[in-house]
């Protein structure tokens, strides 16, 4: 090495360091208005020192902290994470400066294609995460007198997700009021996530373009003899990244009451960025109090995926129902994994306060009618809310028959409000029993196996007196029983359900 190159080397190193120094530091944002008029921006607030990048990435309901930056090609790979309850969630982004733009790439899942968007500089502070609000001391929110039996209705999410709109909701109300569902007990028409607009200058929540007039919509639903439900989050953003109720709890409750809302599903979502699971009770209590303060009876449905033993404190915060699981999917695997796992929660269900293993998928197309009968039977044995999640306008008669099977609904709505439990299991076959008001029992014999099965039902195994007769709730026939046991044939992924006395 000669003297000349000795001189050049530090200059090259300096230049490299300098070229890093000027670049990625800044507040970057990406996001355009959607068809509903709402802009949901992703923010990358980054600080670069040499090859080290720190900062935050705010996307939808998540607020990540950059934990690791690795130079790669002419950009960086950023690893960021957040603590979600007791679990760490991590994401990875590739970022690259191209002129005055930041190219941001990531994969939704490890096996999905790389998605690239272009972020631009925005003023410092835009999109900054709000500070953590203090929480109230715990107290008991008085029971609102609602949901003496499990709520019944319809919810937009499973079928429509972000496509729910005013016309669709009216059409569901029309269908429910005219197809026999209303007479069978279905009452609530619930709008899930994606109805939200921005807040106005006074901080009032508005609706987005899909819902031009929420009060008029509520009036319409009420005119059909039905009730209207809505959705929000205790965090700054809902799960789909729309405006949540954070810091506006009382104001939002008042707005809902003024609109004529009858039901609120309150979904944890971005509250995970501000509060721990141990603080959930106080967070939910805030909205429980706010709803009570409106003076309007609003059914309060907690959605925090069954974390923090919610069944132990759900009634304390004024909750009428609480989700016990993550999101259901329209598959046999998802529905049965959730439904058959509810056994231990039975003691926590009671009139006014229900375990909620998530909404129905009946009629959404990825299970057979026999499997949907299992869904309806199991949710009825479990005293679970019956919230249809399909398109009520275009339902096969067989699906309508499942949703409106009044004999099964009578089990779900039994006024004693005792959640059923597993009484017997052998491999893929299970028998669940629910004690009914007046001393009767509902007995459901499930076959989760891939082949049809002959199940021997021995009453003594179920700790029951042998009944002489009963009612087959799917065949709609009285049945006579003889002796201490009987053999019943159940199709694959099927159920036989009786009420006996």
Q: What values do phi and psi take at 162, rounded to 5?
A: -75, 0
Distance in angstroms (rounded) separating the CA atoms of residues 246 and 235: 5
Asked if residue 240 binds ligand GLA (CB under 6 A), the reply is yes
Stretch that binds ligand GLA, among 73-81, 237-245, 253-261, 437-445 (CB under 6 A): 237-245
Out of 36, 249, 267, 430, point to the residue binding ligand GLA (CB under 6 A): 267
Least CB distance from residue 347 to ligand GLA, whole Å? 24
Judged on CB neighbours under 10 Å (0-12, 13-18, 19+), 464 is middle
Task: Please list the residues that pair with 42 across neighbouring strands.
Answer: 30
Which one, 30 or 269, has the nearer CB to ligand GLA? 269
String of DSSP letters for 282-314:
HHHHHHHHHHHHH-S--EEEEESTTGGGHHHHT
Stretch that binds ligand GLA, among 140-148, 234-242, 422-430, 478-486 (CB under 6 A): 234-242
Least CB distance from residue 284 to ligand GLA, whole Å? 15
Beta-strand pair 441-447/453-458:
unpaired
Stretch that binds ligand GLA, among 18-26, 76-84, 174-182, 235-243 (CB under 6 A): 235-243
The 3-state secondary structure of 124-172 reads: CCCCCCCCCCCCCCCCCCCCCCCCCCCCEEEECHHHHHHHCCHHHHHHH
Asked if residue 157 binds ligand GLA (CB under 6 A), the reply is yes
Contact letters for ligand GLA, residues 274-313 (x by CB under 6 A): -----------------------------x----------
Least CB distance from residue 41 to ligand GLA, whole Å? 17
Total residues at interface with ligand GLA (CB under 6 A): 9
Least CB distance from residue 240 to ligand GLA, whole Å? 4
Which one, 191 or 376, has the nearer CB to ligand GLA? 191
Least CB distance from residue 164 to ligand GLA, whole Å? 10
| 3-state secondary structure (DSSP) of residue 66 | strand
Q: For the segment 183-202, give every residue that binds ligand GLA (CB under 6 A).
A: 192-193
Distance in angstroms (rounded) separating the CA atoms of residues 312 and 92: 37
Least CB distance from residue 459 to ligand GLA, whole Å? 39
Asked if residue 473 binds ligand GLA (CB under 6 A), the reply is no
Asked if residue 239 binds ligand GLA (CB under 6 A), the reply is yes
Q: What angle, rounded to 10 degrees, do the helices at 280-294 and 249-259 form? A: 40
Which one, 67 or 366, has the nearer CB to ligand GLA? 366
Which structure tokens are listed for 450?
Answer: 């891939």
String of DSSP letters for 176-209:
HHHSSHHHHT--EEE--SS-EEEE-TT--EEE-T
Stretch that binds ligand GLA, among 170-178, 232-240, 388-396, 455-463 (CB under 6 A): 232-240
Q: Given 84, 174, 327, 369, which residue is catalytic?
A: 327
Stretch that binds ligand GLA, among 18-26, 236-244, 291-299, 418-426 (CB under 6 A): 236-244
Torsion of CA 325, 329, 334, 336, to 10 degrees: 80
Q: For the segment 433-452, give every residue that binds ligand GLA (CB under 6 A).
A: none
Cα Rg of the chain (Å, integer)? 27
277 belongs to the catalytic site: no
Q: Given 267, 289, 356, 414, which residue is catalytic?
A: 267
Which one-letter DSSP state was computed for residue 465? P
Which structure tokens are listed for 422?
Answer: 């597993």
Least CB distance from residue 382 to ligand GLA, whole Å? 17
356 belongs to the catalytic site: no
Which one, 192 or 373, has the nearer CB to ligand GLA? 192
Asked if residue 414 binds ligand GLA (CB under 6 A), the reply is no
Q: What values do phi and psi take at 30, rounded to 5?
A: -140, 140
Distance in angstroms (rounded) separating the CA atoms of residues 466 and 447: 22
Q: How many CA atoms lie within 13 A of 65 on its CB side?
A: 7
Nearest to 481 by CA among 493, 471, 469, 489: 469
Least CB distance from residue 188 to ligand GLA, whole Å? 14
Q: How far is CA 316 from the centre of its chain?
A: 21
Q: For the segment 323-382, give every residue that binds ligand GLA (CB under 6 A).
A: 327
Stretch that binds ligand GLA, among 20-28, 233-241, 339-347, 479-487 (CB under 6 A): 233-241
Which spans of this chain sit near ligand GLA (rule: CB under 6 A)? 157, 192-193, 238-240, 267, 303, 327
Residues identified as active-site: 267, 327
């Amino acid at each position: 090495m000669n003297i000349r190159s000795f001189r050049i080397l530090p200059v090259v190193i300096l230049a490299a360091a300098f070229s890093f120094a000027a670049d990625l530091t800044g507040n970057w944002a990406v996001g355009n208005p959607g068809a509903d008029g709402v802009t949901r921006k992703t923010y990358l607030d980054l600080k670069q020192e040499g090859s080290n990048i720190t900062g935050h990435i705010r996307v939808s309901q998540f607020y990540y902290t950059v934990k690791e930056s690795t130079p790669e090609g002419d950009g960086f790979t950023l690893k960021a994470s957040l603590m979600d309850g007791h679990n760490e969630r991590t994401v990875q982004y590739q970022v690259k400066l191209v002129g005055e733009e930041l190219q941001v790439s990531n994969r939704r899942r490890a096996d999905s294609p790389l998605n690239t968007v272009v972020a631009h500089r925005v003023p410092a502070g835009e999109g900054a995460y709000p500070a953590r609000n203090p929480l109230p001391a715990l107290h008991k929110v008085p029971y609102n007198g609602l949901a003496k039996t499990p709520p019944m209705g319809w919810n937009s999410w499973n079928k429509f997700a972000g496509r729910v709109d005013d016309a669709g909701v009216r059409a569901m109300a029309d269908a429910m009021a005219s197809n026999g569902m209303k007479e069978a007990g279905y009452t609530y028409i619930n709008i899930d996530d994606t109805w939200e607009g921005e807040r106005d200058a006074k901080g009032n929540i508005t609706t987005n373009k899909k819902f031009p007039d929420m009060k008029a919509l509520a009036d319409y639903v009420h005119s059909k003899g039905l009730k209207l439900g809505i959705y929000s989050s205790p965090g700054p953003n809902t799960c789909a990244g729309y405006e949540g109720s954070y810091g506006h709890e009382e104001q939002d409750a008042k707005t809902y009451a003024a609109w004529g809302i009858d039901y609120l599903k309150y979904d944890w979502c971005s509250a995970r960025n501000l509060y721990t699971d141990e603080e959930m009770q106080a967070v939910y209590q805030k909205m429980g109090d706010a709803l009570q303060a409106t003076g309007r009876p609003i059914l309060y449905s907690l959605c925090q995926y069954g974390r923090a033993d919610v069944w132990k404190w759900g009634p304390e915060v004024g909750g009428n129902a609480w989700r016990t699981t993550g999101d259901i999917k329209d598959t046999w695997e998802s529905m049965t994994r959730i439904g058959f796992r509810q056994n231990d929660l039975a003691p926590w269900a009671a009139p006014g306060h229900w375990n909620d293993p998530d909404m129905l998928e009946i009629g959404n197309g990825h299970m057979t009618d026999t499997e949907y009968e299992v869904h309806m039977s199991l949710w009825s044995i479990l005293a679970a809310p019956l919230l249809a999640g399909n398109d009520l306008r275009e339902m096969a008669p067989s699906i309508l028959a499942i949703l409106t099977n009044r004999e099964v609904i009578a089990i779900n709505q039994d006024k004693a409000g005792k959640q059923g439990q597993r009484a017997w299991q052998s491999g893929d076959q299970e028998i669940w029993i629910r004690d009914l008001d007046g001393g009767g029992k509902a007995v459901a014999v499930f076959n989760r196996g891939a082949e049809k099965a002959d199940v021997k039902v021995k009453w003594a195994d179920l700790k029951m007196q042998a009944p002489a007769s009963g009612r087959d709730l799917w065949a709609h026939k009285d049945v006579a029983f003889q002796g201490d046991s009987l053999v019943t044939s159940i199709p694959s992924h099927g159920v036989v359900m009786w009420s006996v006395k």
